[in-house]
Structure 1
Amino acid sequence: MLRIITQQADVRSELQRICDRTQDEQVLHKEATVREVLQAVKRQGDKAVLHYTAEFDHQILKAEELKVTGSELDAAYQQVSKDLLQAIRLACQKIEAFHRQRVPKSWVQFGDDEVVLGKRYTPVDRAGLYIPGGRACYPSTVLMNAIPAKVAGVPRVVMVTPVRGGKMVNPAVLVAAQEAGVQEIYRVGGAQAIAALAYGTETIPKVNVITGPGNIYVTLAKKLVYGTVGIDSLAGPSEVLVIADETANPVYVAADLLAQAEHDPMAAAILLTTDAGLAKKVQMAVERQLVDHPRRIDTEKAIAHYGLIVVVESLAAAAELSNEFAPEHLELEVADPWALINQIRHAGAIFLGSSTPEAVGDYLAGPNHTLPTSGAARYASALGVETFLKHSSIIQYSQTALEKVASAIDILATTEGLPSHADSVKLRVED
């Protein structure tokens, strides 16, 4: 059952426990395994990828079977309903429209003495998308990762995803990938897929940036290859925090908590409310909605270990606790969410009002659903177009401008013990 505690209890330590839930005692052991996989793939390429796919995923593949064929891609359209195809296309339109508003623009500024300064944005050459496939299929995750890469202008977008039987990739995932502009798809998952993208193999190309969530092995692999390639973030289990007052509908709140808990046994679902009556009603509504739930076992595990209702003294107190937790998803189910949002400093995505369940953000509102977890919202942001772009500074000085700053550069370079730095300027101004 979803626990109810009051603010007088040790709420902060309980929220910290939930935030730290990914700090597994076995992480060091798992990291050693991941390092072994990375090194093997780096040395042996496809051979190692196929070996670990057989060992970990129990899929026996040949090198020529790694890449999804054109006929499989065509066939996928025949295996999805027209309604699903229409929903995917609607999501594509809305996600692309949002991300097109976020494209940084290159700029130059012409200052005094013919000094030109600026910034130039260019996309990476190749992006690799990791799409999980263990517990369910995630066409929405394909769209959220591929569309920003497309909008950024990445010339080559490739995708890796595990298979679970019959060597087949879920047709909805294949259709979403094609609609979002993915050019190549490879049937491989786990740390070996991340290694293949980071180092390249005979079949799978080396990329510049890897994005997309995965299990602990995928997350550790992304952490370890960072520096060889760029990554979006180190994603942990999903989480939602709801702030609700007496105006909230307990049935809606319960559904939103369960919508997060059903993801994974380690997902977190937290309610902070000023109304003790609402707390009890939500607790009961959760129990009712769990009856005959298709994912009841995993959902109940999440609720039991990482679910929590806290009765707080005020919305201000709720906002402060939320800021300390820095949730991936934050719902403000209160009478005036726009007044409360001014008190929110840290959250991956904020959903305002009773008609805005987190699910709209998961699928087609437009903003990205790949968000910082486990408190990372204190310093990190959602995946976006910027993830696939890099910027170069532009600097041009005229002779007049250089002469005006030569003395200051000479002093700074001499102070740092770098005489050639100073000479590189002196030689230009003393001629």
Structure 2
Amino acid sequence: MGDLVIFYEWAMFAARWLHVVTAVAWIGSSFYFIALDLGLRKTPSLPPLAHGEEWQVHGGGFYHIQKYLVAPEFLPEHLTWFKWESYATWLSGALLLALLYYIGADLYLVDRNVLDIPSWGAIALSIGSIGLGWLLYDTLCKSKIGQSTTGLMLVLFAILVAMSWGYTQLFTGRAAMLHMGAFTATIMTANVAMIIIPNQKIVVADLKAGRTPDAKYGKIAKQRSLHNNYLTLPVIFFMLSSHYPLAFATQWNWIIASLIFLVGVVVRHYFNTRHARKGNPHGTWAVAVILMLIIAWLSTGPRLPEGAETQISAGGQQYMDSQHFAAASLAVQTRCAMCHTAEPAYEGVYRAPKNVVLDNDIAIANHAREIVIQSGWSHAMPPGNVTEMTAQERALLVEWYREGSNS
């Protein structure tokens, strides 16, 4: 069993590593081409059918790039297709979702206090909602609403807000935030796989057959690429959110997720405007900062208050001296030590998460800050509240920490 656990942990690490690497490749190429597209210039020397060109310098060399809105008069012998970065990012993300949230559904996906359903039901809801999201989005893009860029973006934002709230009614806070990333990333990858690349292949096939390609295919692909451009930054946030309980484990996590989309839009607007040489809208950064301050304030909402260590640290002593320490220690050892111990008793957990052992007074005092963040100011731990920590116990941990901090 030990070897199997080690293999599983390294499989998770490898999948996460692959996901990060491929995401960097995809997002990097996306950012580059958006900047390139917006920076194209029309010059008298452009060849027939060319839309614009750009001269760039990098790595000691010069690059001369020309763009054709439809296609050049002849098809080059070699074309570089930018698609595998997107596919590999989505596939590695799906693998991570399965390894952590599906295999560990009882711990990470299902919160019985939110929705008491079996693991298979939660997994079905996860897969179904992600697939349904793409179908709904694609239908909207192809409808009359899709003919209005602004109107479509407003409708899509309303859908994303609704999904942010909906996921918090189905899963743990951590899983809800992660699913917003999966929901959005699936739309982005499906745009590449189902719309952008197929449309480009139609153009290539027309050129090979001697037909004049229809410009509508490029226009459609451009719309989907624009959406991907604005969705990129929120997806990165959701990828990282599982490490920050004040983002995912608070009462207003769905509003936080919704506002993150707005932050992504204003930041991308700044860079898009700069790349298009249309000004330097510094005000967008002020909007982004204000939104982030609102997010930080929301994370302190009304729901928040609700290897063994043998040597006490300098900072830990003040928490051990608190008059509430005995009660706080009892709460932690009752609700947390079944996993956070040298030999975890919870099924499926074979070592203390992040090697944090909380089965003795010294360790609890030393980890006071982490404990109050995870279980006092937020409801991140226990996962899905599997040990049924009460609101009174959470409030006790907050009071204990505040008392120790003020001593």
Which protein is richer in strand relative to its size? 1
- TM beyond 0.5: no
TM-score, normalised with respect to structure 2: 0.22
Structure with greater contact order relative to length (CA < 8 Å, sep ≥ 6): 1
Which protein is richer in helix relative to its size? 2
